[in-house]
């Protein structure tokens, strides 16, 4: 599958965001994956897409460790668990988070 915005991808990865499972295209950053899941809200969020604004800060749990990262600079991984998100991300993902 190919999309100009998401590049070439063959499968969707499962990512846990605040307890909600979403699917994002492989070979993309986490922020781009958020945009795939919520195109009408992430596209118009206040994101710089290059790591200088900090509006896309997330906390990712890997095993027993948690690290703050910028969603625009970290690649989405299958099984990734995001336990905290910035208020801008939370607001932008609201349609996806409340859909279940």
pLDDT in tens, 84-96: 999 999 999 988 8
- Write the pLDDT tens digit of every residue in 51-80: 899 999 999 999 999 999 999 999 999 999
Q: Enumerate the β-bridge partners of residue 29.
A: 75
Sign of CA dihedral 26, 27, 32, 36: negative
Longest dimension (CA), the chain: 36
Per-residue pLDDT averaged across 33-49, rounded? 88
pTM for the predicted model, two decimal places: 0.90
Confirm if 12 and 26 have CB atoms less than 8 A apart.
Answer: yes
- The domains of the chain, with CATH numbers, are 2-97 (3.10.20.30)
Per-residue pLDDT, 80: 97
Per-residue pLDDT, 36: 93
Residue ranges of the alpha helices (H) in the chain?
30-37, 39-42, 87-97
């Amino acid at each position: 599958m190919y999309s100009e915005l998401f590049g070439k991808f063959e499968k969707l990865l499962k990512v846990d965001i605040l307890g909600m499972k979403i699917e994002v295209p492989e070979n993309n950053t986490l922020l781009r994956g958020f945009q795939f899941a919520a195109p009408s809200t992430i596209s118009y969020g206040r994101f710089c897409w290059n790591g200088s604004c900090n509006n896309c800060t997330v906390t990712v749990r890997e095993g027993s460790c948690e690290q703050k990262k910028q969603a625009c600079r970290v690649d989405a991984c299958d099984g990734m668990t995001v336990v905290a998100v910035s208020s801008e991300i939370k607001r932008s993902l609201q349609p996806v988070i409340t859909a279940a």
